Amino acid sequence: MTSLDLRSFNFLAALQCAVMGAVLLGIRHNFPSNIRGLRYWGLAPLLGLGATGFYALLGYAPALLVGLGGNGLLMACSVALLAGTREFLGQPLRWWPWVSLVLVCLVGLFVFFVIWPDYRPRMLIFGLGMAAICGAHTHVLARHGHGFAARLMLVAMAWQTLVLLARALSTYWVDAPDTQRFDAGSVIHMVFVATFSFTILTVLVSAQLMASERVRLEFEHLASHDELTGALNRRAILRLAEQAHVCWLNMGHAYALLLLDLDHFKHINDNHGHQAGDLTLVRVASTLEQGLRPLDRVGRYGGEEFVVLLTTSDLASAHRMAERLRVRVESLSADTNAPACTVSIGVALVQAGDASCDAVVGRADRALYQAKAAGRNQVSLG
């Protein structure tokens, strides 16, 4: 590969990344505002393109200007990618260590451009500085990233870190003191120059995938959870009950449903206000969730009614669980100074002949009616 090839390739790759970055910046407002990091991810390739612009001036502009401008912008590009990822993962960047690192590296480059001109320490300083940024990027992805796209980004950053380290450390036996960036005929140098644009491209593709995946998960969550209490909504809990019913039909694993209705909830609204009523619903939902075993689920059935699905159970243990939940809700007001609140519970176990979970819901509903009729704050079996 001639030096012209490498420059052209580098410039085209940087241009491609910059277009993707500009697209990311343009579409970032289409994503919900709680999806952060897109502006830094979008800005990074534009800085990278600026760096490539400086490198393209090599031979036409003073080497000092090209070296400091190009390397400085390339480091800024890597810091921006890191900032984007950290912000996306909810780990905002502390800027000063990275700004200091870039400045220290630029001072080092200046020294070995002007005072003791030597390419090798310049490459060492730049390579180690960049490897520190990319290494930190790899680290945050390994700790906080989840899913395919985050792993793809992690592999790209880990690879880039290794290439940078190899390039920085091999510089003394590969390069001469007056080597130029596009002159070196070593394989490691080719790999270093060629992979940088591909790393940015991979990071940008991964970033878009990560953002889209997050949007999908948020929509899924919104579609299946009650906005006020955070519990499963009626559709989601009934879908789980249907699945439990299929399990019962196919494998004989029993399940029970508890229908819970807050007692005289209207009084709480009337006497303490609607907001206090909302807060009570939130507290009851979280109390129920905390009182359940890991496989059991709670959902808001509507208004001040909740459903609990006990996945494997006999009637006696379902009754014990219902009693435990009733006591937990009753003691809620003592623990939190919230308005006094009790709950009536109807319990039903799936039984032979139940065509669907609707039959179980129906029995639990009748049992709940009995609990209300018998004076409330109690459990009835259906």
Ligand X SMILES: Nc1nc2c(ncn2[C@@H]2O[C@H](COP(=O)(O)OP(=O)(O)OP(=O)(O)O)[C@@H](O)[C@H]2O)c(=O)[nH]1
Q: Cite the active site residues.
A: 304
Residue 89 near residue 140, CB atoms below 8 Å:
yes
The angle formed by the CA atoms of residues 295, 300 and 305, to the nearest 5 degrees, is 120
Q: Does 303 bind ligand X (CB under 6 A)?
A: yes
Using CB under 6 A as the binding rule, the residues of this chain from 51 to 110 that contact ligand X are none
Q: Which two tokens stand for residue 372?
A: 């209300």
Q: Which is nearer to ligand X, 216 or 266 (CB)?
A: 266
Residue choice 269, 286, 312, 370 for contact with ligand X (CB under 6 A): 269
Residue choice 7, 28, 39, 372 for contact with ligand X (CB under 6 A): 372
Q: Does 304 bind ligand X (CB under 6 A)?
A: yes
Report the nearest approach of ligand X to the CB of residue 160 (Å). 51
Q: Does 378 bind ligand X (CB under 6 A)?
A: no
Q: Does 226 bind ligand X (CB under 6 A)?
A: no
Residue 22 near residue 46, CB atoms below 8 Å:
yes
Residue choice 79, 124, 256, 262 for contact with ligand X (CB under 6 A): 262
Report the nearest approach of ligand X to the CB of residue 165 (Å). 57
Q: Does 230 bind ligand X (CB under 6 A)?
A: no
Q: Which strand (E) or helix (H) includes residue 307?
A: strand 305-310
| Helix, strand or coil, per DSSP, at residue 312 | coil
- Show the 3-state SS of 10-21: HHHHHHHHHHHH
| Helix, strand or coil, per DSSP, at residue 310 | strand
Residue 296 near residue 311, CB atoms below 8 Å:
yes
Q: Which is nearer to ligand X, 41 or 265 (CB)?
A: 265
Residue choice 77, 134, 281, 318 for contact with ligand X (CB under 6 A): 281
Report the nearest approach of ligand X to the CB of residue 43 (Å). 43
Q: Does 266 bind ligand X (CB under 6 A)?
A: yes
Instruction: Tell me which stretch binds ligand X (CB under 6 A): 1-9, 32-40, 114-122, 262-270.
Output: 262-270
Selection from 307, 300, 308, 309 nearest residue 278 by Cα: 300
Report the nearest approach of ligand X to the CB of residue 300 (Å). 9
Distance from the Cα of residue 259 to its chain's centroid: 34
How many angstroms separate the CA atoms of 148 and 154, rounded? Answer: 10
Report the nearest approach of ligand X to the CB of residue 287 (Å). 16
The angle formed by the CA atoms of residues 96, 98 and 99, to the nearest 5 degrees, is 65
How many angstroms separate the CA atoms of 378 and 372, rounded? Answer: 8
Sheet with 297-302: list strands edge to edge. 297-302, 305-310, 256-262, 343-349, 379-381
Report the nearest approach of ligand X to the CB of residue 357 (Å). 23
Report the nearest approach of ligand X to the CB of residue 310 (Å). 23
Q: Which is nearer to ligand X, 226 or 296 (CB)?
A: 226
Q: Distance from first CA to last CA of the chain, Å, rounded?
A: 81
Q: Does 221 bind ligand X (CB under 6 A)?
A: no
Q: Are strands 305-310 and 297-302 parallel, antiparallel or unpaired?
A: antiparallel
Selection from 287, 381, 368 nearest residue 327 by Cα: 287
How many angstroms separate the CA atoms of 181 and 89, rounded? Answer: 35
Q: Does 132 bind ligand X (CB under 6 A)?
A: no
Q: Does 278 bind ligand X (CB under 6 A)?
A: yes
Instruction: Tell me which stretch binds ligand X (CB under 6 A): 67-75, 142-150, 216-224, 277-285.
Output: 277-285
Instruction: Tell me which stretch binds ligand X (CB under 6 A): 113-121, 131-139, 204-212, 264-272.
Output: 264-272
Q: Which is nearer to ligand X, 191 or 276 (CB)?
A: 276
Report the nearest approach of ligand X to the CB of residue 225 (Å). 14
- Residue with CB nearest ligand X? 277
Q: How many helices (H) and strands (E) does the chain have?
A: 13, 5
Instruction: Tell me which stretch binds ligand X (CB under 6 A): 41-49, 88-96, 114-122, 270-278.
Output: 270-278
Q: Which stretches of the chain bind ligand X, using CB under 6 A?
A: 228, 261-266, 269, 274, 277-278, 281, 303-304, 372, 376
